Structure 1
């Protein structure tokens, strides 16, 4: 029994040395857990703040998109008007091109106009035809 008592005392002293040796790291681990507790206590509030800011940002974006859609709906007739004007202009320019082509053919075949430098008549006639067509389409 004496040997068992001596063994138990040696094991006890080893545990005592181990406890003394581990006091500082365990104290640091306790401080780490305390700071982690502080951080995790603030986490729900931070998540709630981020969620509310995200919700308000999405709401603002949604409102901006609604406003853009309303403005596009208001501008839609203007775009249709511009498209109609483009179609009308295309028709007018095609008729001007036809007149231009026929006048050139006549100009090339008529040597009197070239000989006497009367090409400006061609420009005036084209301009007059354009004005005539415009008045015709507005009436």
Structure 2
């Protein structure tokens, strides 16, 4: 055998090994594609099941939402009452804050007056009592106006 024959024999063995390797690879690819085929065949049934469950979930959600709406509708008057109470307490509190701030201002004015005029203990107490009396009258007038407007 000469060198050409040996070369052809080596090439033939190489092609045979390549063909065996390619056959095994294609066989593995074929089994993978068969698995994909089976999965794709089951896909429509699985999608039908998912769609049925999704429809049931939507129906249950609608029923739950309708139930919640009924319950909230029943509670709405309670929320209105709580809101009215909050608004009333806010008005009362703001009125009390206004009166307190006015009394604080007037008592500070009375204190400043007694210090400026150097009136002393008895005159200062009389002036302070007078301011409290006037503020009490003003407070009663404000409360009467609030009761009339309420």
With the length of structure 2 as denominator, give the TM-score of the two structures. 0.51
* 1:59 shift after superposition: 3.3
Residues 35 and 96 of structure 1, relative CA distance in 2, 3 Å threshold = closer
Q: How many pairs are equivalent? A: 112
Match of 1:32 among 33, 36, 48: 36
Alignment-derived partner of residue 74 in structure 2: 70
- Give 5+ residue unaligned stretches, structure 1: 1-20
Alignment-derived partner of residue 120 in structure 2: 112
- Give 5+ residue unaligned stretches, structure 2: 1-22
Q: Is 1:80 equivalent to 2:87 in the alignment?
A: no
Deviation digits for residues 99-132 of structure 1 (CA, Å, limit 9, x no counterpart): 3222221122114249x9x6xx77xx58x939x7
Q: Looking at both structures, which has the greater relative contact order when contacts are Cα pairs under 8 Å and sequence separation is at least 6? A: 1
Match of 1:42 among 28, 37, 46: 46
With the length of structure 1 as denominator, give the TM-score of the two structures. 0.54
Residues 113 and 66 of structure 1, relative CA distance in 2, 3 Å threshold = farther
Q: What CA RMSD, in Å, does the superposition of the two structures yield over aligned residues?
A: 3.9
Alignment-derived partner of residue 10 in structure 2: none
